[in-house]
Amino acid sequence: MVYDHNKIEAKWQHYWEQNQTFQTENSPKPEQEKYYVLDMFPYPSGQGLHVGHPEGYTATDIMARFKRMQGKNVLHPMGWDAFGLPAEQYALKTKHNPGSFTQQNIANFKRQIKSLGFSYDWSREVNTTDASYYKWTQWIFEKLYEKGLAYEDEIEVNWAPDLMGGTVVANEEVVNGKTERGGYPVYRKPMKQWVLKITAYADRLLDDLEDLDWPESIKQMQRNWIGRSTGARITFPVVDCQDTIDVFSTRADTLFGATYLVLAPENELVDRLTSSEQQAAVADYRKQIASKSDLERTDLNKDKTGVFIGSYATNPVNGKHLPIWISDYVLSSYGTGAVMAVPAHDQRDYDFAKKFALPIIPVIDGGNVEKEAYTGDGQHINSGFLNGLNRQKGLDKMMEWLQDHHAGKSQVNYKLRDWIFSRQRYWGEPIPVIHWDDGTTSLVPETELPLRLPQTDDLKPSGTGQSPLANLTEWVNVTDSQGRHGVRDTNTMPQWAGSSWYYLRYIDPHNDQMIADPAKLKYWLPVDLYVGGAEHAVLHLLYARFWHKFLYDLGVVPTKEPFQKLVNQGMILGTNHEKMSKSKGNVVNPDEIVAEYGADTLRLYEMFMGPLVESKPWSTEGLAGANRWIKRFWRLFIDDDNQMSEFLTTENDGNLTKIYHQTVQKVTNDLEKMRFNTAISQLMVFVNAVYKEQKLPTEYATGLVKLLSPITPHLCEELWQRLGNKNSIAYADWPSYDEQQTVADQIEIVVQVNGKVRAHLQVEPNIKNSELQELALANQHVKTAVTGKKIHKIVVVPSKIVNIVAS
RNA sequence: GCCGAGAUGGCGGAAUUGGCAGACGCGCUGGACUCAAAAUCCAGUGAUCAUUGCGAUCGUGCGGGUUCGACCCCCGCUCUCGGCACCA
């Protein structure tokens, strides 16, 4: 009988559900080793799954099934990151509540995921939009607030007036000066926002990367994002004034070369230090800057702009008077919002100095300041007591001098900014804060959590820059027991909030007393394997690490880091080698694949395409090939009359012994290293060998089905049952191999002459080198190759190669 | 511009403590089965030359180097992908 994927896949999916095969016991089992394998949970979009989703999910499912068969206690959950902008935009358009729309999408995602036969424990499903879930998201926020790590601040934010009737987006959501979603322009605007002090954890977030088994590229991206930079804070007194200007510099050694100072236009010192003659020009420049979008400030405008503010500062090291300018190439949000300009040795300062004809004084030998700034090393010149010293020695000496003269000290700065945590949206976790009329602010008491999102079908932009929640006056206005009136905070949390801790909730998903039972957390943490797309390299993964460390400090979680091993699956491209997208018309829908070929074929093909971490193009022929092989595998066991195949035999003539043990060894090692493509290739090699032999001893048949079962579970459950087994293959023992059986009695030795292969020799594995050498020289092909030549040297690598060097 | 990853047949890919380049699959060609086709099974398939048979030469983005021996290590390039992008 030909393999009927529809019937068999439905049968086993039903069986697993009925028997709760993959439900993980709720009480920890300290005597059994655990394995927590996690997928990045999806945002359930209206589009449903694309073939990229099942790639990562198949990889984790194989690992989950493999580890179960090796006797591990496996936690393998799935859930939904269901707050988010698309649902809100849809709701605004259609006058529906985003909740019902979201439920529909989740149902569709779940149907699709289930059709692929993944071994999730669905009893642990979480949904970030459930009040019983976001109660704890709000709880974490309150703890952050209590510890002073959540604060309100009037800060320059990325204001996108055209997005959702005006909203604030995080730095990470701004791409090339436009919003990541929708591509709307972004402007800088000071606004009151909730901010989380992630910078307080900058050092730990940086240093603890060391011990993680993550791709080096991701670690490097996080390091760059955090951007720790060690330098000096140098104080410049302002001439004829009590004020001082502090600057941050990593090149304090070039202080003698400073020829002017630049403040960020937004720096508050500007008001006080601008001379009356320059007032108009400065005001004009600042106005220009404020109306520029980020894009205009960076990409579109590489040309330096700026204005002299009419006052001077004193260089502490030589008393020179330096003009003070403002320019938008100095960022108000980094360092002190002011720099000392050393145009001879910094390209940005150089460009500015050239444009405004400011002096350029070289203080390090080398380079040519007529052409460009010199940033290399060299001996200091024009630098008083630093003359003759190189960069590092000069820096050390200058730091000493600055400390001694109270003109500066060492300082560490980070590119990492605090996390702007409020969004002017409806579809998110409400921030549980009340602003009282008397000017005080308080948290919603923990006993009153969750603070539920009020139901409404009529979402409207508030028009004030506040979220649509501002319209819901009944919800917004509160009166306490003393009759005091206040208003609720109308901000909601960003999508990153719910996804920053969901992996903790899976461990104890129905606990209504706490985030999770500490004993269970202790047993299951950290996550042993986390698989997802590289697009979350900095955002999600940095925020989750931050919250985890905070919870660690609170004593809630027992580990410093949440995810021990991280793997990024590569992208699946369209057949034209381009990224799949609707507009290119190269999107493959997994539903169609499952209907035509079955889930096992999709799983097998996606794992066979190439290494998990690489991007690779879809191939319709390749997919059909995977399906052909599944049927070929089936025919090893089941004949055309639906009987057990004549290949199956209880007699073992030993012809397949070596290759069987090799296969068990290779598949086991490859799965451990997640090299699924080569594991599958080895199984194909074995199947080819069985077809040659026309025989399959039962002991190898059962082993073979087990080896393949993590990859194509439906097929293998069916064959396992037909081989006479009563229980699911999911908990069958993983096959073992005998190392002795994997090596042959005879090994092949390559004989080279001058590095070129001239002959092959069949020899005993433990042959002596001298014997090997003799055999090689006696070979006819070798003799021909060395005829008329003098042998200089013979290199023998035991059990591998003989290389004869002759000329 | 800076940081990171990569480049292997017609295609996806395999092979690294430096030791037979191209496993496995796709595609293609031929054969068997069939009235025929599909499906299946078997064989061949890097290029060039030779071909009656053994075979020979070249070949892992490009140019050098180290080595008995290099896809692998070193130096210098080109291109592709990902990230960052006035962070002082």
Q: What is the pLDDT of residues A617-637, one digit of tens each?
A: 999 999 999 999 999 999 999
Phi, psi torsion values for A612, nearest 5 degrees: -50, -40
Q: Is residue A37 a contact partner of residue A528, using CB atoms and an 8 Å limit?
A: yes
Q: What is the mean pLDDT of residues A535-553?
A: 94
> Over the stretch A748-762, which tens digit does the pLDDT of each residue have?
778 888 777 777 777
Over 80: is that where the pLDDT of A663 sits? yes
Phi, psi torsion values for A762, nearest 5 degrees: -95, 120
Over 80: is that where the pLDDT of A542 sits? yes
Query: Which of A380-389, A532-541, A669-678 is predicted least confidently?
Result: A532-541
**Tokens linked to A410:** 């060492």
- A127 strand-pairing partners: A80
Q: What is the mean pLDDT of residues A600-610?
A: 96
Between the CA of residue A318 and those of A239, A257, A270, A315, A601, what are the distances in Å?
14, 10, 24, 6, 76
What is the spatial distance between Cα A401 and Cα A407, in angstroms, rounded to a whole number? Answer: 8
pLDDT at A368: 84
Asked whether residue A582 is marked as a ligand-binding residue, the answer is yes
Residues 76-135 of A with CB under 7 A from strand B: none
Over 90: is that where the pLDDT of A640 sits? no
Q: How confident is the model at residue A295 (pLDDT cuts 50, 70, 90)?
A: low
pLDDT at A3: 86
Q: Is residue A186 a contact partner of residue A156, using CB atoms and an 8 Å limit?
A: no
Over 90: is that where the pLDDT of A155 sits? no
Q: In the 8-state DSSP scheme, what is residue A430?
A: B
Phi, psi torsion values for A137, nearest 5 degrees: -65, -45
For chain A, which domains are there? 140-197+418-488 (no CATH), 229-413 (3.90.740.10), 745-806 (3.10.20.590)
What is the spatial distance between Cα A675 and Cα A666, in angstroms, rounded to a whole number? Answer: 10
> Over the stretch A401-414, which tens digit does the pLDDT of each residue have?
999 999 999 999 99
Which of the nucleotides lies closest to A615 (Cα–C1')?
B81
Between the CA of residue A210 and those of A101, A341, A527, A535, what are the distances in Å?
42, 35, 17, 21
Q: DSSP of A67-94, one letter per residue?
A: HHHTT-EEE---EE----HHHHHHHHHH
Residues 6 or more apart whose CB falls under 8 angstroms from that of A438 comprise A484
Which of the nucleotides lies closest to A304 (Cα–C1')?
B86
CA of A216 to C1' of B80 (A): 20
pLDDT at A772: 76
CA of A55 to C1' of B5 (A): 20
The complex scores an ipTM of 0.94
Q: Is residue A486 a contact partner of residue A436, using CB atoms and an 8 Å limit?
A: yes
Q: What is the mean pLDDT of residues A693-720?
A: 96
Residues 6 or more apart whose CB falls under 8 angstroms from that of A59 comprise A531, A567, A569, A607, A612, A674, A676
Average pLDDT value for chain A: 90
A626 touches strand B (CB under 7 A): yes
pLDDT at A299: 54
Q: Is residue A613 a contact partner of residue A565, using CB atoms and an 8 Å limit?
A: no
Q: What is the mean pLDDT of residues A202-223?
A: 92
Q: What is the mean pLDDT of residues A727-755?
A: 85
Over 80: is that where the pLDDT of A80 sits? yes
Over 90: is that where the pLDDT of A195 sits? yes
pLDDT at A775: 76
Burial track A301-314 (b if 16+ CB lie within 10 A, e otherwise)? eeebbbbbbbbbbb
Helices (H) then strands (E): counts for chain A: 26, 31
A749 touches strand B (CB under 7 A): no
What is the spatial distance between Cα A99 and Cα A470, in angstroms, rounded to a whole number? Answer: 19
Q: Is residue A456 a contact partner of residue A100, using CB atoms and an 8 Å limit?
A: no
pLDDT at A25: 87
A249 touches strand B (CB under 7 A): yes
Hey, which bits of A218-375 come out as E strands? 229-237, 244-249, 260-263, 307-314, 321-326, 338-341
What does R_g of chain A's alpha carbons equal in angstroms?
34
Query: Which of A284-298, A303-317, A529-543, A584-598 is predicted least confidently?
Result: A284-298
A767 touches strand B (CB under 7 A): no
CA of A24 to C1' of B62 (A): 56
Among protein residues, the one whose C-alpha sits closest to the C1' atom of B81 is A615
Q: Which residue reads 């022929």 in tokens? A: A621
Q: Which one, of A300, A301, A326, lies nearest residue A311 by Cα?
A: A326
> Over the stretch A31-74, which tens digit does the pLDDT of each residue have?
899 999 999 999 999 888 888 889 999 999 999 999 999 999 99
Q: What is the mean pLDDT of residues A207-225?
A: 91
Which of the nucleotides lies closest to A755 (Cα–C1')?
B69
**The most confident of A85-99, A168-182, A615-629, by mean pLDDT:** A615-629
Task: Give percent of chain A with pLDDT exceeding 90.
Answer: 67
Over 60: is that where the pLDDT of A300 sits? no
CA of A622 to C1' of B27 (A): 10
Q: What angle do CA A65, A68, A74 make, to 5 degrees?
A: 95
Q: How confident is the model at residue A777 (pLDDT cuts 50, 70, 90)?
A: confident
pLDDT at A120: 98
Over 60: is that where the pLDDT of A301 sits? no
Between the CA of residue A193 and those of A142, A156, A491, what are the distances in Å?
16, 9, 9
What is the spatial distance between Cα A647 and Cα A635, in angstroms, rounded to a whole number? Answer: 9
pLDDT at A208: 94
Over 90: is that where the pLDDT of A465 sits? no
Q: Is residue A236 a contact partner of residue A322, using CB atoms and an 8 Å limit?
A: yes
Q: Is residue A42 a contact partner of residue A53, using CB atoms and an 8 Å limit?
A: yes
pLDDT at A766: 73
Task: Identify which has the larger pLDDT, A166 or A571.
Answer: A571
Q: Write out A362-400 in H/E/C secondary structure.
A: CCECCCCCCCCCCCCCCCECCCHHHCCCCHHHHHHHHHH
Assign A620 to helix, strand or coil. helix
A373 touches strand B (CB under 7 A): no
Phi, psi torsion values for A72, nearest 5 degrees: -80, 155
Q: In the 8-state DSSP scheme, what is residue A276?
A: G
Q: Which one, of A289, A301, A294, A334, lies nearest residue A160 by Cα?
A: A294
Euclidean distance between the first and the last CA atom of chain A, given in angstroms as a whole number:
64
Q: What is the mean pLDDT of residues A110-135?
A: 97
A746 touches strand B (CB under 7 A): no
Q: How confident is the model at residue A741 (pLDDT cuts 50, 70, 90)?
A: confident
Task: Give percent of chain A with pLDDT exceeding 70.
Answer: 96
Nucleotides of B under 7 A from a protein CB: 3-5, 11-15, 19-21, 23-27, 39-43, 56-57, 68-70, 81-88
pLDDT at A228: 93
A250 touches strand B (CB under 7 A): yes
pLDDT at A296: 65
A754 touches strand B (CB under 7 A): yes
What is the spatial distance between Cα A285 and Cα A762, in angstroms, rounded to a whole number? Answer: 84
Q: What is the mean pLDDT of residues A281-294?
A: 82
